[in-house]
Amino acid sequence: MNGGLRLPINLATRPLKNRRLFRTAVGVLVVLFILLGGGAGALLLRSSARRQADDKAAADLELRIQAAGKERAEKTGQSEAMKKRNTDLVSEVNGVIARKNFSWVDFFSRLEQALPPNCSIAAVNPLLLSGTSLHIAMKVITPDLSELLALIENLTALKFKDVTMRNELTGGGRLISEIGFVYDGSH
C-alpha cells in the first residue's frame, strides 16, 4: 500500500497541474449548459408557435360555433314564421282531404236504413264537415207524427248523434219536418 498511487490532498501546493483539469470540466459544463439552453429555447419557441396556432384555431372554431348558433336561430325563426303563415293553408288542405275521405255512400245507406217506409226525404243540407263528422239539416215528409218519431228513433239507433227537431209544418195531409243531426263517418 505504500507504493500505490497517491492523490494530492492539498491542491493548493500544485495549482498549475490542476488548473487544466478544472478548465476542462468548466468548459464541458458551459458547453453542456449552452446546448441544453439552446434545446430549451427551441422547445420554447416551438411550443409558443403551437400555442399561437391552437389559439387561432380555437378562435376560428368559436366563430364557427357562433355562426352556426346564429344560423340555427335564424332557421328556427323562419320555420316558426312559415308555420304561422301556412297554418290556414294546412288546415284547408286537411279539410279537403277529410272531405275527400268522407263516405257519402255509407251516409246515404244508413240514412235509407233509418227512413220508415211511408216517409221520404225532401231536402238534405250538409251544414259543416269537420274531420269525419258531418252536421246535417234535412226536411222529411211523413204521413203522421208516429212515423216521424219512428224516424228519429231509427236515426238514434243507427248512431246518428244530437238528433233534434227544428221545425214542423203540415200540408196536404202530410207532416213536413226539419231535423238536425250529426253523422260520425268513423263508425
C-alpha cell of residue 38: 439552446
Longest Cα–Cα distance in the chain: 163
Q: What is the pTM of this model?
A: 0.47
**Mean pLDDT of all residues in the chain?**
82
DSSP H or E stretch at residue 4: none
C-alpha cell of residue 137: 239539416
Better-scored residue on pLDDT, 172 or 187:
172
Query: Residues with Cβ < 8 Å from 148, sequence gap 6 or more?
Result: 119, 140, 142, 175, 177
Q: How far apart are CA 184 and CA 19, in angstroms?
A: 117
C-alpha cell of residue 120: 221520404
User: Residues 179, 138: contact at Cβ < 8 Å?
Assistant: yes
pLDDT at 41 over 80: yes
